[in-house]
Structure 1
Amino acid sequence: MNKIDALIRRRADDRRKTAQACVSRILRNAKARGVDISVVGSLAKNRFRVHSDVDLLVHGSTDPAHRTMVERLVADQLRGTNIPYDLIFASDVSPERVQQLLNDGV
């Protein structure tokens, strides 16, 4: 492995650890508020890389206040990390897509 490969691997590992720590806090805070969130995509499939984002599937209420609360909860934890995220509300996609996300990722 050359120096650039080692640097990329180290940065990817650091970024993955940061993402995992943030997502752990998100899931804990969401559960405390009665919100069910599933991690999907590259982080769930252990394929998180330097340019990956965090993909979260939110189950439950479609109420605007609920959505705002979830968006704020996630943004608060990921702010300042330079890790982008996607919030996918299960109520916005078909049941088949939800199953696909849960089984296969994004």
Structure 2
Amino acid sequence: MKLQIEGQNLRVRIGEVELATLMAGDALVSRTAFAQAFTLTCTVRLGAGDTASFSGRADTWQIEIPEAAVRDHARRLPTREGLKFILAGTGDADALKLLFDVDVRESVRRRRSS
């Protein structure tokens, strides 16, 4: 799982093996130690609702992506389009744009070499 942060944009990019893990009902966990300063843990799981959610603390993130949207997205792969969600903040400027996408380059490479 790759996390990219730029301003109020958070991109979660996973591979196809990780997608299979999510769709099997398991969570994805990423852990990064920032030297001796602190450790950041991000957990991504599928949820039953229609909207994505973000919760946790500064060093422990919980992201929930709607299961129906992820399953629909998986049926359309390969695609360059990811899932986009706007998560409300305390004000309009604090809203977080969450992009979730699946990197299919590995399976595309395998198909081309076959």
Q: Which has the higher helix share?
A: 1
Identify whether the pair has TM-score above 0.5, normalized to the shorter chain: no
Q: Could you say which structure has the higher strand fraction?
A: 2
Higher relative contact order (CA 8 A, sep 6+): 1
- TM-score between the two structures when normalised by the length of structure 2: 0.27
Q: Give me the TM-score of the superposition, normalised by structure 1.
A: 0.28
